[in-house]
Amino acid sequence: MTAERKKPELLAPAGDWEKLQMAVLYGADAVYLAGTSFGMLSFAGNFSDEELPRAVDFAHRHGVKVHATVNTMPRSGEVDRLPEHLEKLNDAGVDALILADLGAFILAGKYAPRCQRHISTQQSIANYACAQAWFDLGAQRVVLARELGMDEIREIRRRVDPALELETFCHGAMCVSYSGRCLLSNYMTGRDSNRGACAQPCRYQYALVEEKRPGAYYPIEEDVRGTYVMNAHDLCMIEHLGELADAGADAFKIEGRMKSAYYAAAVTNAYRLAYENARAGRPFDPLHRREVESVSHREYGTGFYYEPPSQNANICRTNEYIRDRAFLCTVTGYDERTRLARCVQRNKLRRGDRAQLLTPGAVGRDIATDELFDETGAPIEATPHPGQVFYLRCPGAKENDIIRAI
């Protein structure tokens, strides 16, 4: 990795308030979120008009930028609502808008003049001419198509204006479509993937049924675990961040606004540690890979960075998610004198269970769970109730740490 390369921005998902806090506290340089309209994930928690200024203020107080998604493909009946929405994002102090529709892009320049304009991966920017054209229209950044390889990113970086920023995905779910432009969800479920309501039918398990033999299911291709026609690996580039930066990436984007707060914390933290490691010229630390393995995910791969889209590229042979560690609780306070951490339960913890403490800026470390207490200080054997407040003797814990099962 070249020493003079500008440090890329680490951009993390913030699907709701808790995920925003975790992404910010665990190392993001910027977060991306959505209001209640015109975002590509309408089933994420998202932020109301009242919540958005508070969210932006929280991020800014921690030195973190906020990008808002306005990247649906609106119909004519929806466009009249766009100016008011853009003005609210502008007034809330949002730093950048992620846009896909040319009309929305022009309106953003008029109604949200304080916001940078970034072009979404929904625009499928796959060549330098397209990237430069958006820059000439006023875009400060383009999110490159996920189908591009490393050499193609280098070529785009070489041939566009140096002031144009290039953003690339580094982690998360991959669409089986051209950079997310897909009609399969519309056809199968009536939910429009280009307007924020994708049902992810590319991740269903499929079989053939002969017309005259209803109920008899035949695999398209024999496999001991079934057949998975359109079942993409999750992207994981944690071991290749130095190369991605050298190729010309100005921002690394983590997918996952619909994922958990634990995902936002653990993955952001791992990528922060891994990139700082690479930037310092140190070899990759396998413990950073272990961190991204700890969240719920499908089999990992490197997408199309080293392998072009083809018949079998990036296809996952199992329909199952891998869940190595359970999110047990968050630490909401710590008493130095008693060494008791105040915790809020997310999953059941039993006295003596094997667990780890995850702290911003460090990999998880093993802790003892032998001393559990309720709010009165009485010893307890377990924490069975959702949201239960309890205390765990845990030397060195800090507010906003996470405790997870091993």
Q: What are phi and psi of 334, to 5 degrees?
A: -150, 135
Mean predicted lDDT score pLDDT of the chain? 88
**352 vs 115: CA distance, rounded Å:** 51
The CA-atom distances, in angstroms, between 30 and each of 10, 61, 286 are 6, 12, 25
Answer yes or no: are the C-beta atoms of 330 and 260 closer than 8 Å: no
**351 vs 391: CA distance, rounded Å:** 12
Q: pLDDT digit string (tens) for 245-292?
A: 999 999 999 999 989 999 999 999 999 999 999 999 999 999 999 999
Compare 93 and 206 and report the one with higher pLDDT: 93
Assign 141 a pLDDT band (cuts: 50, 70, 90): very high
Q: Domains, the chain, ranges and CATH?
A: 9-178+231-301 (3.20.20.70), 327-405 (2.40.30.10)
pLDDT of residue 226: 45
Residue 335, pLDDT above cutoff 70: yes
**169 vs 237: CA distance, rounded Å:** 9
Residue 224, pLDDT above cutoff 50: no
Residue 111, pLDDT above cutoff 90: yes
The CA-atom distances, in angstroms, between 105 and each of 71, 101, 135, 213, 281 are 9, 6, 12, 51, 39
Q: pLDDT exceeding 70 applies to what percent of the chain?
A: 82
**133 vs 138: CA distance, rounded Å:** 9
**Beta pairing class for 208-209 and 96-99:** unpaired
pTM for the full model?
0.86
pLDDT of residue 1: 45
Answer yes or no: are the C-beta atoms of 161 and 255 closer than 8 Å: no
Q: pLDDT digit string (tens) for 156-204?
A: 999 999 999 999 999 998 876 655 566 666 667 777 666 566 777 766 7
**Beta pairing class for 165-172 and 251-254:** parallel
**197 vs 189: CA distance, rounded Å:** 10
Angle at 190 between CA 185 and CA 195, to 5 degrees: 70
**Mean per-residue pLDDT, 230-259:** 92
Q: Locate tokens 């619909």: which residue?
A: 258
The DSSP bridge partners found for residue 329 are: 345, 403
Q: Is 201 left (phi over 0), alpha (psi -120 to 50) or beta?
A: alpha
Compare 307 and 302 and report the one with higher pLDDT: 302
* Residue 5: closest CA among 281, 283, 304: 281
Q: Is 401 left (phi over 0), alpha (psi -120 to 50) or beta?
A: beta
Q: Which of 34-43, 222-231, 382-391 has the lowest mean pLDDT?
A: 222-231
Answer yes or no: are the C-beta atoms of 268 and 172 closer than 8 Å: no
pLDDT of residue 46: 83
Long-range contacts at 304-312 (CB < 8 A, ≥ 24 apart): 304/146, 304/147, 304/148, 304/149, 305/148, 305/149, 305/150, 305/237, 305/240, 305/244, 306/149, 306/150, 307/149, 308/147, 308/149, 309/147
Burial class (CB in 10 A: 0-12, 13-18, 19+), 218: exposed
